[in-house]
Amino acid sequence: MKTRNYLNRCGRMSVIILCILFNQLNAKVETMVEKNLYGKLPDGREVYQFTLKNASGTTVKLINYGAIVTSLCVPNRNGVVEDVVLGYDSLQGYINDQSYFGAIVGRYGNRINKGAFVLDGKEYHLTINDGENHLHGGKFGFFKALWDAKVVNDSASPSVAMTYVSPDGEEGYPGNVTITVTYTLTNDNALKIVYEGTTDKPTLLNPTHHSYFNLSGSLTTSILDHKLTIDADSITEIDERLIPTGQLLDVTNTPFDFRTFHTIGERINDNHPQLKYGNGYDHNWVLNSFNGKVRKVVEVYEEKSGRVLEVLTDQPGIQFYSGNFLNGSQKGKRVVYQHRTAFCLEPQCFPDSPNHPNFPSAVLRPGEVYHQTTIYKFSTR
């Protein structure tokens, strides 16, 4: 009898050990990066898609055209995995895109007044692509470039590094700039983006990530019910061209105060001149506790799905854009993207900083290394 119990116990132990080994093996298989041909550019160059999977059921798809996130599928509170970013169905959609869906924008994220700035006494003129201003790096910025992509083999989590060499004079910027953006999907459902850049002449470098998020699981529903906090006491005030005036505006008693949770929609139509200029929220929040270290700056909560998005960054500012220019002319993933069905959270240096000595500087000089870490972390509640 005793012998039989002992043998049973041994049997059960072996099954448990086998299960653990199988799970570990499975987790390893599941955390691999897959690489597939995604399409060809009109000049014949090949674009690849990289699929990053973790053991928690999250999948991120990236392409090396524009270093774009094409899909980001994360579980809701019941474990149902759904896509939470806008995107297109094929490469052609991204080639035609004018909204920077999922891309790395730069060299300079956001606007530079009239595309002009002075650096070390020399005046530079950048491509004008937004009214009379320069936006997100010009007509053919980082978001329209083919990046050189490599799977990072020595990473504990699935990871892809993309590098682009932006030539001297591109879109009017001085210096050859080499930028590497490394996307890593961690097992706790964080998409970590690390940027590194160098130059051979003094220049500007201020890239950011431009995913359009909708946490509901449906890319056709409004984002106005999403609840938001931003750890910032002020915004950089803008004029009617969305160019900073140079003044900081205290958020106290304004629709820009997100220091406690408010839905995006609660005050978006208030009669505030800044909301008129932005067509809603399209402003840079001056983030608290800026000391070069990564800290949590934003939390978004979507009640029905239970999804939570936290943004952590080492940057001084974040552009919160409430999808005001989505107007039904963008189509992808078998749906039409309507007004305010997604929002962007773009950590960066302040817009138009080269023309405002009181703003943090985005100047990069030879010998220096530009560095940014931003994390989009998903969970449920």
Which residues does the annotation mark as catalytic?
Answer: 210, 346
Exactly one of 83, 170, 282, 352 binds ligand BGC (CB under 6 A); that residue is: 282
Exactly one of 300, 344, 345, 349 binds ligand BGC (CB under 6 A); that residue is: 344
**47, 241, 297, 345, 379 from 309: Cα distances, Å:** 29, 30, 11, 11, 7
Exactly one of 206, 216, 319, 348 binds ligand BGC (CB under 6 A); that residue is: 319
Give the shortest CB-350-to-ligand BGC separation in angstroms: 12
Contact call for residues 76 and 217 (beta carbons, < 8 A): yes
Give the shortest CB-70-to-ligand BGC separation in angstroms: 16
Burial environment of residue 98 by CB neighbours within 10 A (0 to 12, 13 to 18, 19 or more): exposed
Cβ-based nearer residue to ligand BGC, 51 or 214: 214
Q: Does residue 346 touch ligand BGC according to CB under 6 A? A: yes
Q: Does residue 189 touch ligand BGC according to CB under 6 A? A: no
Q: Does residue 100 touch ligand BGC according to CB under 6 A? A: yes
Peptide linkage before 107 cis (omega within 30 of 0): yes
Give the shortest CB-141-to-ligand BGC separation in angstroms: 12
Q: Does residue 325 touch ligand BGC according to CB under 6 A? A: yes
Q: Are strands 46-53 and 59-63 parallel, antiparallel or unpaired?
A: antiparallel
Exactly one of 177, 223, 242, 268 binds ligand BGC (CB under 6 A); that residue is: 242
Element of type H or E holding 24: helix 2-30
CA 162, CA 109: separation in Å to the nearest integer?
A: 18
Cβ-based nearer residue to ligand BGC, 185 or 205: 205
Q: Does residue 223 touch ligand BGC according to CB under 6 A? A: no
Q: Does residue 97 touch ligand BGC according to CB under 6 A? A: no
CA 317, CA 306: separation in Å to the nearest integer?
A: 27
CA 258, CA 232: separation in Å to the nearest integer?
A: 8
Structure-token pair, residue 68 = 């774009």
Give the shortest CB-120-to-ligand BGC separation in angstroms: 28
Q: Does residue 352 touch ligand BGC according to CB under 6 A? A: no
Exactly one of 56, 59, 70, 99 binds ligand BGC (CB under 6 A); that residue is: 99
Stretch touching ligand BGC by CB under 6 A, among 168-176, 230-238, 247-255, 318-326:
318-326
Cβ-based nearer residue to ligand BGC, 251 or 345: 345
Burial environment of residue 150 by CB neighbours within 10 A (0 to 12, 13 to 18, 19 or more): middle
Binding string to ligand BGC for residues 146 to 165, with x set by CB under 6 A, is what?
Answer: --------------------
Q: Does residue 51 touch ligand BGC according to CB under 6 A? A: no
Sign of CA dihedral 123, 360, 293, 206: negative
CA 318, CA 134: separation in Å to the nearest integer?
A: 18
Give CA torsion, residues 39, 344, 105, 134, to 10 deg.
Answer: 130
Under DSSP, is residue 118 helix (H, G, I), strand (E, B) or coil? strand
Cβ-based nearer residue to ligand BGC, 75 or 255: 255
**Interface residues toward ligand BGC, by CB under 6 A:** 99-100, 110, 242, 282, 319, 321, 325, 344, 346
